[in-house]
């Protein structure tokens, strides 16, 4: 069946979901999507075997959203995931695909999150619930989660839930779910225990097994940068300054992003052009020809638009947006290192996307090397070297006798030393691109291999973070932002948004006071107007900050003094997915075969 499916338009996906797919820029389903979606649309149970990073989330989210009834407020779809990170990722995918379903709500529930917040959101209503087994059990025991309206259950990464000791919890939840339902189970492997669960709880399931072709060439150097403090555009600019590239393809997720990023790079003096599915074939071919003929150095592309590009001068591929699919990553970096040449692939990874990085490494069986973001000193040294080379080339290749006479006359008339004249000319020549770069030395949020192994084992214990040093309050100004407690905002949300979107180091973000409908935050006095304008448009909890200088006069009863979460002392005691205080007394805990760490 899947071999006949060439595009999403060949599938019976509902119009609103199809529009979201088009807006995101997807055109051709991955093998697991092409094989799974028809069965799920037909209401059949499904047993899917495919590696992480092959597009499984869309394989079940797209068909199930196509059948959802928005008029019903009780949960209709329940997705069980082994970790809070995966639960959040799956919930975000549902929200993205359902962007054209008015009134749609998806709710991730997991341990470590405030229970009262989850209870309030469940009372408000959600069409889709994505949760870790332990926290779902907590809500079922409290009767705060109603499964009576559930029509679909998805077990995502079932083998991982088995490995982490959750399989008894999963079976307990399935026992408490309606018998008349559609169930899909996805797993990277199929051990006996998972096969046994499928036999007991799935009804004549259709089986789909996808082998992932995720090999990468040894001639491609692969590295990643963990996004932190500096926004991605600034990081990209620094890398372009110091990386000796010939041609480069930068991959983003959406068609809109290709045009926006190309425009910003052009404004910074780079020869860049977008490449996306909205461009006609003639224009796409012309863009690729310009890249081949060195009339263009950088192409910003989506996965579909870049498919089949074979340009030997492409020395670098940069993943500005990390792909959700490991196979897409392999296809992307395959645009470099052609015909036996060497190439380099750079991947930008946000902290919340670490799991996708690990999936890529597991699928490709190759670890990616963490890279340092070039510092201002490094960029300055590079620009000075280039400046000297241009001077030397000009002296060797041009007849400068006329200018020698003019400058000698100027020196004599004004009694100015030739060295000072040369310095003034050098200043004018570099004014648009200063040789001295004033950048803060921001280090990426790197984790050592031991940290990554702990992440991969889903150990939820957290180390105490050191108290963050802050600047002198005399160098700070208090600003008002239009987001507060009524929007469920937390200091950590505000710090993260300002640091990531405006490029202000989190160490330079001062005290935060939360009020009901707004908050105040202390920021450096020397913040540029461009940064200020950027902050006006930044969103926290879907609210535009619309930042302005604080005028004071706030009621003390309406505020409390809060510092960012990283300032607060943390307990060394690991958080459990099921806090003891959240459990009703007298309830027997289901027997567990192995210890859980959810």
pLDDT digits (tens, 9 = 90+) for 130-139: 999 999 999 9
Question: Treating both helix axes as pointing N-terminal to C-terminal, what angle do 167-175 and 133-142 enclose, rounded to 10 degrees?
Answer: 40
| Mean pLDDT to the nearest integer, 86-114 | 89
Residues 361 and 388 in one domain: no
446 assigned to some structural domain:
no
Within 10 Å of residue 409's Cβ, how many Cβ atoms? 10
pLDDT over threshold 60, residue 267? yes
Residue 530: which CATH number? Answer: 3.30.70.330
Residues 138 and 114 in one domain: yes
173-205 in b/e burial notation, b at 16+ Cβ within 10 A?
Answer: bbeebeeebbbbbbbbebeeebeebbeebbeeb
pLDDT over threshold 80, residue 316? yes
pLDDT over threshold 60, residue 410? yes
pLDDT value of position 550? 87
Residues 371 and 386 in one domain: no
Residues 192 and 89 in one domain: yes
Last residue of one domain, picked from the residues 209, 228, 249:
209
| Mean pLDDT to the nearest integer, 243-269 | 89
122: confidence class by pLDDT, cuts 50, 70, 90: very high
Residues 122 and 190 in one domain: yes
Instruction: Kindly write down the DSSP assignment for every residue of 284-299, as one continuous string.
Output: HHHHHHHHHTTS-SEE
More confident residue, 9 or 503: 9
pLDDT digits (tens, 9 = 90+) for 563-588: 443 434 444 434 444 444 444 444 44
Residues 192 and 230 in one domain: no
443 assigned to some structural domain:
no
Residues 150 and 284 in one domain: no
Strands 476-481, 548-549: pairing kind: antiparallel
Answer yes or no: are the C-beta atoms of 251 and 323 closer than 8 Å. yes
543 assigned to some structural domain:
yes
Strands 512-515, 559-562: pairing kind: antiparallel
Strand partners, 220: 343
Within 10 Å of residue 397's Cβ, how many Cβ atoms? 8
- Tally helices (H) and strands (E) across the chain: 21, 21
Q: How far, in Å, CA of 21 to CA of 548, rounded?
A: 37
Which range, 24-28, 127-131, 218-222, 455-459, has the best average confidence (pLDDT)? 127-131
pLDDT value of position 237? 86
More confident residue, 28 or 272: 272
Last residue of one domain, picked from the residues 375, 410, 441:
375
pLDDT value of position 517? 87
Helix (H) or strand (E) holding 223: strand 220-226
536-573 in b/e burial notation, b at 16+ Cβ within 10 A?
Answer: eebebeebebebeebeeeeeeeebeebbbbbbeeeeee
Number of domains into which the chain is organized: 4
Place of tokens 């001639």: 219
Residue 369: which CATH number? Answer: 3.40.50.300
For residue 407, count CB atoms less than 10 angstroms from its CB and return exposed for 0-12, middle for 13-18, buried for 19 or more. Answer: middle
586 assigned to some structural domain:
no
pLDDT value of position 457? 39
495 assigned to some structural domain:
yes
pLDDT value of position 303? 77
pLDDT value of position 561? 41
pLDDT digits (tens, 9 = 90+) for 474-494: 578 899 999 988 888 888 778
Residues 277 and 393 in one domain: no
450 assigned to some structural domain:
no
Q: Determine which of 46-60, 224-238, 294-308, 434-448 has the lowest per-residue pLDDT on average.
A: 434-448
Residues with Cβ within 8 Å of residue 304, at least 6 apart in sequence: 25, 26, 27, 28, 277
Residues 411 and 386 in one domain: yes
408 assigned to some structural domain:
yes
- Calculate the CA 375 to chain-centre distance: 23
Answer yes or no: are the C-beta atoms of 538 and 476 closer than 8 Å. no
Q: What is the mean pLDDT of the chain?
A: 80
CA distances from 467 to 142, 191, 560 (A): 37, 45, 20
463 assigned to some structural domain:
no
Residues 351 and 265 in one domain: yes
Residues 232 and 354 in one domain: yes
Which of 307, 291, 308, 289 minimizes the C-alpha distance to 299?
A: 291
CA atoms within 13 A on the CB side of 586: 1
Residues 38 and 182 in one domain: yes
Question: What range does the domain containing 293 cover?
Answer: 220-375
List alpha helices for 167-280, DSSP H: 167-175, 192-201, 232-242, 255-267
Which range, 60-64, 265-269, 327-331, has the best average confidence (pLDDT)? 60-64
| Mean pLDDT to the nearest integer, 106-115 | 87
| Mean pLDDT to the nearest integer, 154-182 | 91
Distance spanning both ends of the chain, measured CA to CA: 38
317: confidence class by pLDDT, cuts 50, 70, 90: very high
Percent of the chain with pLDDT over 90: 29
Query: Global pTM?
Result: 0.47
Angle at 512 between CA 507 and CA 516, to 5 degrees: 155
pLDDT value of position 555? 53
Backbone angles phi, psi at 258, to 5 degrees: -65, -45
More confident residue, 553 or 526: 526
Percent of the chain with pLDDT over 70: 80
pLDDT digits (tens, 9 = 90+) for 173-224: 999 999 999 999 998 888 888 999 999 999 999 999 887 555 556 788 899 9
């Amino acid at each position: 069946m899947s071999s006949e499916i060439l595009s999403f338009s060949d599938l019976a996906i509902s119009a609103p979901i199809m529009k979201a797919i088009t807006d995101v820029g997807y055109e051709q389903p991955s093998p697991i999507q092409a094989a799974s979606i028809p069965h799920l649309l037909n209401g059949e149970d499904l047993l899917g075997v495919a590696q992480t990073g092959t597009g499984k989330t869309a394989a079940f989210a797209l068909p199930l959203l196509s059948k959802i009834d928005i008029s019903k407020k009780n949960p209709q779809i329940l997705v069980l995931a082994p970790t809070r990170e995966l639960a959040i990722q799956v919930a975000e995918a549902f929200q993205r695909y359902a962007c054209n379903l008015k009134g749609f709500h998806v709710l991730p529930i997991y341990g470590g999150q405030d229970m009262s917040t989850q209870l309030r959101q469940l009372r408000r209503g959600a069409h889709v619930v994505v949760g870790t087994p332990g926290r779902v059990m907590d809500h079922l025991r409290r009767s705060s989660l109603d499964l009576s309206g559930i029509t679909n259950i998805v077990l995502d990464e079932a083998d991982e839930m088995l490995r982490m000791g959750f399989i008894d919890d999963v079976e307990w939840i399935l026992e408490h779910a309606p018998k008349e339902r559609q169930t899909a189970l996805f797993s990277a492997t199929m051990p006996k225990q998972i096969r046994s669960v499928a036999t007991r709880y799935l009804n004549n399931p259709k089986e789909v097994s996808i082998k992932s072709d995720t090999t990468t060439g040894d001639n491609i150097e692969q590295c990643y940068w963990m996004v932190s403090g500096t926004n991605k555009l600034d990081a990209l600019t620094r890398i372009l300054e110091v990386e000796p590239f010939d041609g480069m393809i930068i991959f983003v997720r959406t068609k809109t992003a290709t045009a926006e990023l190309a425009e910003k790079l052009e404004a910074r003096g780079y020869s860049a052009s977008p490449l996306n599915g909205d461009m006609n074939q003639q224009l796409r071919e012309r863009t690729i020809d310009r890249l081949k003929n060195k009339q263009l150095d950088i192409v910003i592309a989506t996965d579909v638009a870049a498919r089949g590009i074979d340009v030997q001068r492409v020395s670098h591929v940069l993943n500005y947006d990390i792909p959700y699919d490991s196979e897409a990553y392999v296809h992307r970096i395959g645009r470099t290192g052609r015909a036996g040449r060497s190439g380099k692939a750079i991947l930008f990874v946000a902290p919340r996307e670490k799991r996708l990085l690990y999936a890529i490494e597991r699928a490709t069986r190759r670890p990616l090397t963490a890279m340092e973001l070039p510092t201002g000193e490094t960029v300055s040294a590079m620009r000075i070297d280039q400046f000297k080379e241009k001077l030397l080339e000009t002296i060797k290749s041009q007849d400068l006798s006329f200018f020698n006479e003019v400058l000698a006359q100027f020196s004599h008339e004004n009694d100015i030393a030739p060295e000072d004249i040369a310095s003034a000319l050098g200043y004018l020549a570099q004014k648009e691109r200063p040789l001295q770069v004033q950048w803060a030395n921001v280090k990426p949020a790197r984790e050592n291999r031991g940290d990554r192994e702990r992440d991969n084992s889903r150990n939820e214990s957290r180390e105490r973070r050191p108290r963050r040093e802050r600047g002198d309050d005399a160098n700070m100004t208090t600003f008002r932002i239009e987001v507060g407690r009524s929007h469920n905002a937390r200091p950590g949300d505000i710090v993260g948004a300002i640091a990531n979107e405006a490029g202000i180091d989190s160490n330079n973000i001062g005290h935060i006071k939360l009020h009901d409908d707004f908050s105040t935050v202390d920021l450096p006095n020397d913040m540029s107007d461009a940064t200020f304008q950027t902050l006006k448009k930044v969103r926290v909890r879907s609210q535009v900050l619309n930042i302005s200088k604080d005028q004071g006069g706030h009621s003390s009863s309406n505020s409390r003094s809060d510092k960012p979460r990283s300032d607060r002392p943390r307990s060394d005691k690991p958080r459990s997915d099921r806090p003891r205080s959240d459990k009703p007394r007298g309830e027997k805990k289901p027997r567990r075969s192995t210890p859980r760490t959810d």
